[in-house]
Amino acid sequence: MKHLSIVVIAFLGFYVTAQNTQQSDTTKTEKLEEVLVKAVRVDAKSPITHSNVSKEELAKRNLGQDIPTLLNFLPSVVTTSDAGAGVGYTGIRIRGVSSQSTNVTINGIPYTDAESLGTFWVNLGDFSSSVENLQVQRGVGTSTNGSGAFGASINLLTDGFSDVATGEISNSIGSFNTRKHTVKFSTGLMNDHFEIAGRLSNIESDGYVDRASTSLKSYFLQGSYVDDNTLIKAVTFGGNNVTYQSWFGIDAQTLRVNRTFNPAGQFTDENGNTQFYDREVDDYRQDHYQLHWNEKFNRNWSTNVGLNYTYGRGYFEQFREDDDFSTYGFDPITVNGSLVNTTDLIRRRWLDNDYYVVNANVNYKDNNSDILLGTSFSHYDGDHFGEVIWARFASNSNIRDRYYEGNGKKNDFSAFAKGTFKLSNKFQLYGDLQIRNVNYETSGINSNLTNFNVDENYLFFNPKAGVTYEYNDNNDLYFSYARANREPNRDDFENNPDILPEQLNDFELGWRHKDENFLLNVNGYLMYYNEQLVLSGEINDVGAPLRTNSGESYRLGLEIESTIPLAEKWTLQPNVTLSRNRNVETFRNFDGELQNLGSTAIAFSPDIIAANALIYQPVNNLQMSLLSKFVGEQFMSNTEAELSKLDSFFTTDFNIVYTIKPKSVFKSIVLTGLVNNIFNELYVSNGYYFTFDDDFSNPGTISTVEGAGFYPQAGTNFLLGATFNF
For residue 136, the cross-strand partners are 51, 154
Q: How far is CA 327 from CA 319, 320, 335, 392, in A?
A: 14, 11, 19, 15
Query: Nearest-5° angle of CA 583, CA 68, CA 601?
Result: 15
Distances (CA, A) of 636 to 250, 285, 604, 687: 14, 31, 5, 7
Q: Give the HSE-up count for residue 476: Cα atoms under 13 Å, Cβ half-sphere.
A: 18
E strand or H helix at 213, and its extent? none
- Cα 104 from Cα 633, distance rounded (Å): 27
* Per-residue buried b or exposed e for 692-704, using 16+ beta carbons within 10 Å of the residue's own CB: eeeeeeeeeeeee
**CA within 13 Å, CB half, 355:** 22
Closest CA to 683 of 724, 725, 632, 637: 632
CA atoms of 157 and 376, how far apart (whole Å): 18
Cβ atoms < 10 Å from Cβ of 50:
21
Task: Give the integer Cα–Cα distance in Å for 304 and 302.
Answer: 7
Q: CB–CB of 173/719 below 8 Å?
A: yes
- Vertex 546: Cα angle to 544 and 547 (nearest 5): 145
The boundaries of the domain holding residue 601 are: 2-725
Q: Which residues pair with 301 in a beta bridge?
A: 364
Helices (H) and strands (E) counted in the chain, each on its own, are: 5, 42
> Exposed (0-12), middle (13-18) or buried (19+): which is 37, by Cβ within 10 Å?
buried
Residue 552, judged by CB atoms within 10 A of its CB (0-12, 13-18, 19+), counts as middle
Provide the pLDDT for residue 695. 64
CA dihedral 656, 662, 667, 672 (to 10 degrees): -10
Residue 379 in contact with residue 411, Cβ under 8 Å?
yes
Q: What is the DSSP letter of 451?
A: B
Q: Please count the other Cβ atoms lying within 10 Å of the Cβ belonging to residue 705.
A: 10
pLDDT at 593: 87
**Among 451, 492, 209, 447, residue whose Cα is nearest residue 320:** 447
Q: Indicate the SS3 state at residue 31.
A: helix
Q: Rounded to whole angstroms, what are the CA distances from 299 to 46, 325, 425, 429? A: 22, 69, 22, 22
Positive or negative, the CA dihedral 35, 36, 40, 43 is negative
Q: How many residues belong to the chain? A: 726
C-alpha to C-alpha distances, 701 to 499, 589, 707, nearest whole angstrom: 30, 14, 20
The β-bridge relationship of strands 518-530 and 552-565 is antiparallel
Return the SS3 of 69: helix
Q: For residue 625, how many other CB atoms are within 10 A of its CB?
A: 23
Task: Say how far apart CA 566 and CA 517 lie, in whole Å.
Answer: 10
Number of domains within the chain? 1
* 3-class secondary structure, 529: strand
Give the pLDDT of residue 699.
62
**Cα 603 to the center of its chain, rounded Å:** 18
Residue 446: DSSP 8-state: -
Distances (CA, A) of 321 to 244, 317, 393, 633: 18, 13, 12, 37
* 577 alpha-carbon distance from chain centroid: 20
Contact assessment for residue 197 and residue 235, using Cβ atoms and an 8 Å cutoff: no
* Per-residue DSSP letter, 680: -
pLDDT < 50 stretches in the chain: 1-30
The residue type of 273 is: N
Question: Whose CA is closest to 97, among 521, 691, 649, 547?
Answer: 547
Query: Can you tell me the distance from the alpha carbon of 691 to that of 491, in angstroms, rounded to the nearest whole number?
Result: 18
Query: How does 364-374 read in b/e, with b if 16+ C-beta sit within 10 Å?
Result: ebeeeebbbbb
Rg (CA), the chain: 26
Looking at 114-257, which runs of residues are DSSP E strands? 131-139, 151-158, 166-174, 178-186, 194-205, 214-226, 230-244
Domain CATH number, residue 199: 2.40.170.20
Q: What is the pLDDT of residue 178?
A: 98
pLDDT of residue 185: 97
